[in-house]
Amino acid sequence: MSEKVATEAGGRIYTSGSYRLGVHGPGSDIDTICVCPRHIYKEHFFGEFQDMLRAWPAVTEISAVPSAFVPVMKTVISGVEVDLLFARVNLAEAGDKLDIEKDEILRGVDDASQRSLNGPRVTDMILNLVPDVATFRTALRTIRLWAKRRGIYSNVLGFPGGVAWALLTARICQLYPTAAPATIVGKFFPIYYQWGWPQPVILKKIETGPSNMQHSVWNPKLDRRDMAHRMPVITPAYPSMCSTHNITASTMSIIKKEMLRAMQITDEIIKNPGSTWISLFERADFFSMYKTYVHVVASASTSEGIKDWSGMVESRIRTLVQDLENTDNIILAHPQVGGISNVFYCLSEEEQAVASQGEVPPELMNRKETDIEGKEGARKIWTKNFFIGLEIEKKPNGQGSRVLNLFYPSKRFCAACQGWEKYNEMEMSVILRPAKRSDLPPYCFPDGQPKSKKKTKRGQQNGTNDIGLGDASEEHSQGPSKRSKATPSDESSSISYPVTNETSNSSIAASPIPSTVPLPNGADPVPPSILNGNSNAALPLPPPGIENLPPLSATSLSGFATAANGVVHDGHSGKNTDGLVVLNGAPQTASS
């Protein structure tokens, strides 16, 4: 191809996400979509173009994930994080006349390109569908900050991501078109806490698109996968998709709990004009929420390797959470958003092996890079630590320690990670280890670990003392199975939420919307009692949630049992004095 033809073929760059919405802040990345004509393929983008970027001095970091659901090249350019996405349109030219807002742009494109193109298309449509863009942006900034501080902002881990929070905020703006940002925020939490999930949140009527296009549109009546979505929030641009398909039973319960907390705080703020919003944005203290955790450690021998490897491991955490939800005696599995990164300076291979296990001795924890300079055999190891908090069933009176068998979840998780196409067992590792809160690494508590409260005899009699992590031989004494949990009369495993009906109708200041007002563009109906702030009505209890999950099927058990055997041996007991650890199928005596 001549240079003239290549120049005429052109190409366009679009932004999306928070930057295009106008709600980005310091440290935010910029989602950028590179739209190319049909003679440019993904292999060119992730091949030659990536090589050109690596040769550019302004680019200091590049991490490419061409096999992702939305292929992306994560870069740092002049100190700014830029996520580069690729879209190939079925046109000979992609110049200045290209209009991506028209549905025809999706004709003949592959699914990956369609998802990339829908980034800016959805963003633009959101801005076009809200009645007041300035109010929407202020409210969305508030909701985003709240969600990040409370640890419920992560699509990859099963929480709503940036697009979902934007759609949820935009819907409230539609319902209250003349309201101030504070009112939008005040209405946001009670409406979604009381929402009739899985009723979808939509900004406009879902369109099927041109008859000659075959892109899949969200439709729970036709697609069983769509029917399984717990909290569907639907994108407005064709083809409409569920932006919250990753939400699990556990993360849904956590979101509902945070919605309730925020609803109570904003209710007090509006009733007491002199109060501040500080408490709404308090950071969630994840490591004080639970007594038992699962610690996932991804380690690599290079700084470049840990970025791709830890990202892949993080992408598998959500399925681990789902497997933990299906494990006996576990009510809820709460993934920590973000993880904790560390670099350890080791003097030997033995220290490197210890660091990769996640339980690091103080001398290694405190060692600096200058301490190993010039020493033979010294090396570095990079780790990314992910934690999952576990809410455990209370044991019935008179029963011994409960058993937490992590064999199947850990086996399947490690096999999935080690099946990655770029996995190199000589340079990468992943392990899971159970840990009591008192045994968590020091880096979980930058301000020092809080003192544990002594257990009272009354608490012990009520079966609230710490759970023991038992071995596989005790699987028949693990307490109620998932089938018994699903029995309506069994309330011991349910998650309780405080509900108050004493709030006045004036608790959230807003102009009520009459029930006769039609909602815009065929959007979803909302009960008038919620729209008008009728908080005297009894709040519905949270959905049945994880206590009603069905037992593992024979197919699931077979899938677990046939997983690859190459699971890294934990070698740690979690120091549980009242039981045995079963992690990878080998019981280990707990050390005191």
Band the pLDDT of 361: cuts 50, 70, 90.
Answer: confident
- Contact at 8 Å (CB) between 568 and 428? no
Question: How many CA within 13 A on the CB side of residue 140?
Answer: 29
* Nearest-angstrom CA–CA distance, 283 and 287: 12
Report pLDDT digits (tens) over 437-472: 988 988 898 776 655 555 544 434 333 334 433 443
Mean pLDDT of 525-541: 41
Q: Is 270 marked as binding a ligand? A: no
CATH topology of domain 162-284+500-531: Poly(a)-polymerase, middle domain (1.10.1410)
pLDDT of residue 563 exceeding 80, the answer is no
> How much is the pLDDT for 588?
36
Strand partners, 380: 345
* Nearest-angstrom CA–CA distance, 361 and 298: 18
Q: For the range 502-506, what are the long-range contacts, defined as Cβ-Cβ under 8 Å and sequence gap of 24 or more?
A: 503/267, 503/535, 503/536, 504/271, 504/535, 504/536, 505/532, 505/533, 505/534, 505/535, 505/536, 506/271, 506/533
* Nearest-angstrom CA–CA distance, 541 and 196: 11
Number of Cβ within a 10 Å radius of residue 569? 12
- The DSSP H or E segment spanning 353 is helix 349-356
* Nearest-angstrom CA–CA distance, 412 and 433: 14
Mean pLDDT of 516-521: 38
User: pLDDT: is 551 or 514 the higher one?
Assistant: 551
Report pLDDT digits (tens) over 19-64: 999 999 888 899 999 999 999 999 999 999 999 999 999 999 898 8
pLDDT of residue 397 exceeding 90, the answer is no
User: pLDDT: is 110 or 400 the higher one?
Assistant: 110
User: pLDDT: is 554 or 252 the higher one?
Assistant: 252
Q: Is 223 marked as binding a ligand? A: no
Q: What distance lies between CA 273 and its chain's CA centroid?
A: 34
CATH topology of domain 3-128: Beta Polymerase; domain 2 (3.30.460)
pTM (2 d.p.): 0.77
Q: Is 51 marked as binding a ligand? A: no
> How much is the pLDDT for 576?
30
Q: Is 308 marked as binding a ligand? A: no
Report pLDDT digits (tens) over 191-234: 999 999 999 999 999 988 777 787 899 999 999 999 999 999 99
Report pLDDT digits (tens) over 276-312: 899 999 999 999 999 999 999 999 999 888 988 999 9
The residue extents of the domains of the chain are: 3-128, 162-284+500-531, 290-478+567-589
Mean pLDDT across the chain, nearest whole number?
A: 78
Band the pLDDT of 1: cuts 50, 70, 90.
Answer: low
Q: Is 31 marked as binding a ligand? A: yes
> How much is the pLDDT for 449?
64
- The DSSP H or E segment spanning 12 is strand 12-16
Sign of torsion over alpha carbons 276, 278, 281, 284: negative
Mean pLDDT of 68-83: 91
Q: Is 578 marked as binding a ligand? A: no
| Phi, psi (rounded to 5 degrees) for 76 | -125, 115
Q: Is 328 marked as binding a ligand? A: no
DSSP tag of 133: H
> How much is the pLDDT for 95?
82
> How much is the pLDDT for 67?
80
> How much is the pLDDT for 448?
65
Mean pLDDT of 541-552: 35
**What is the Cα Rg of the chain in Å?**
26
CATH no., domain 290-478+567-589: 3.30.70.590
First-to-last C-alpha distance (Å) of the chain: 71
